[in-house]
Chains A and B, each alone.
Chain A
Amino acid sequence: MFQDVLGKTFRLLGYTIQYGCIAHCAFEYVGGIVVCSGPSMQPTIQNYDIVVLDNLSRHFYSIQKGDIVIAKSPSDPKSNICKRVIGLEGDKVCTSSPSNFLKSHSYVPKGHVWLEGDNLRNSTDSRCYGPIPYGLIRGRICFK
């Protein structure tokens, strides 16, 4: 009786580990479904929208200007940010906030990207914390 329960428990544990690993590989290397929250990408992405993330483009380095990406926040690695890629390395971007009269420009350094939210008035993005390293990007949004 006891041996039966033990056997069943081990089998259940084995299946859980196996499916957990398959889920990890799928999310890490292919993509998955994410829920976005926050107003910084309105009107493109609303609060609590469900989006499909594609991680293959991160691994093949095919993220382009204009893509919406999800990245780890540079000031808090445990939370994620969802913004649009405005500039890749080497591009010239405008760094001043919209209220400044004098516009200043700078070049995006090697290995970094410049992100901005679509809702420019209500978005903390690269205009606030500067360009972020490419290594922080987790994936590109392909469907909503």
Chain B
Amino acid sequence: MAQARDLGRRYIKAFLKGFFVAVPVTVTFLDRVACVARVEGASMQPSLNPGGGQVSDVVLLNHWSIRNYEVQRGDIVSLVSPRNPEQKIIKRVIALEGDIIKTIGYKKQYVKVPHGHMWVEGDHHGHSFDSNFFGPVSLGLLHARATHILWPPRRWQKLQPVLPPERKPLLTEQE
């Protein structure tokens, strides 16, 4: 009986040790390196969720590549919604700080993106809650860059940073 109790105690110790190693490492990995997310909504059609309500795309979100807040025009990124901090939204970066762009339906027709901000838009104009609604967003709200579509299998692809030619900035700041 004493042997069984010893074995039980050793088992519990090993379990706790494993738990305290595995949980922080997994959480840190999902927070800092990469995670996976399902895309809801039609604001990025046809790039994401082209099928509508049927099957939602699942994308790979890469936190590591934006650890220095370096994004390019045309990247698809996920960010904390400026109107609802509990929600994350996924949009395409159209303009970076210093660019002057023509807006669609915003209160000002031409906007110069302030320092430390970016302009994001969904590909499905008119059905997208994006910068044309809430203006330029601070880079601090950047959450991750979407790099690949993982599900459904017939839509496996690497997401390329593509800027639609009609949305190119009118004037970019020379770096």
Contact = CB atoms under 8 A, between A and B. Distances in A.
Interface stretch (A22-30, A42-50, A90-98, A118-126): A22-30
Contact of B138 (A20, A21, A22, A133): A133
B24 interface: yes
B2 interface: no
B28 A25 contact: yes
A77 B117 CA distance: 9
A121 to B, nearest CB: 24
Contact of A73 (B83, B85, B86, B116): B116
B69 interface: yes
Interface of B: 20-21, 23-25, 27-29, 31-32, 68-69, 79-86, 114-117, 137-142
A111 interface: yes
A135 B116 contact: no
Contact of A136 (B20, B28, B69, B141): B141
Contacts of B24: 18, 21-22, 24-25
Contact of A21 (B27, B84, B86): B27
A134 interface: yes
Interface size class of A (residues with CB under 8 A): 20 to 34
Contacts of B29: 21
A133 B82 contact: yes
A77 B140 contact: yes
A52 B77 CA distance: 32
Interface string A100-144: 000000000111100000000000000000001111100000000
A135 B80 CA distance: 6
A77 B21 contact: no
A112 B116 CA distance: 17
Interface string A8-39: 00000000011011101100100000000000
Contacts of A109: 83
A20 B80 contact: no
B77 to A, nearest CB: 13
A108 to B, nearest CB: 12
Contact of A24 (B28, B83, B115): B28
B82 A135 contact: yes
B69 A77 contact: yes
Contacts of B83: 109-111
A134 B85 contact: yes
A111 B117 contact: no
A111 B27 contact: no
Given A74-B138, A77-B142, A136-B138, A24 B80 contact: no
Contacts of A24: 24, 27-28, 31-32
B81 A78 contact: no
A107 to B, nearest CB: 14
A76 interface: yes
